[in-house]
Amino acid sequence: MKINFIIQQRGVSILFAVLILSVILAIGLGISVILIQQSKMMSQIGYSVVAFYAADNGIEAILIATTTNPIPETNLPNEATYQVFVNTTSSDPTCIAQHYCLKSIGTFKTTKRAIEVNY
């Protein structure tokens, strides 16, 4: 009688081990998916910084220039680009500056950052 009970219980330990391993595998796969997404996002943070400085370069270029014409898309040596838009208070009712509203959009790979200056 006792031997019959032990033979019937052998499959339970294998089933229990498989369940525990499947739970551990699911947790491991979930963590790996999160880590992969985070590493992709961290690699694109550098793109954001380069795009911001490209936009900053556009603002500097229009402030140094003697013209108030918009600057078309301009390529920089590091493959970033910037484009500057110039609005006056008379041409754009949303411009609340005394003279000009400048907006520069910097782009690097898939990331865009913008800077707006009112003076």
52-74 burial code (b ≥16 CB/10 A, e <16): bbbbebbbeebeeeeeeeebeee
Question: What are the pLDDT digits (tens) for 51-89?
Answer: 999 999 999 988 888 777 788 888 899 999 999 988 876
pTM of the entire structure? 0.64
Structure tokens given for 99: 């003279």
pLDDT at residue 2, as a whole number = 60
Domain that includes residue 91, residue range:
2-118
Domain tally, the chain: 1
Write down the mean pLDDT value for the chain.
84
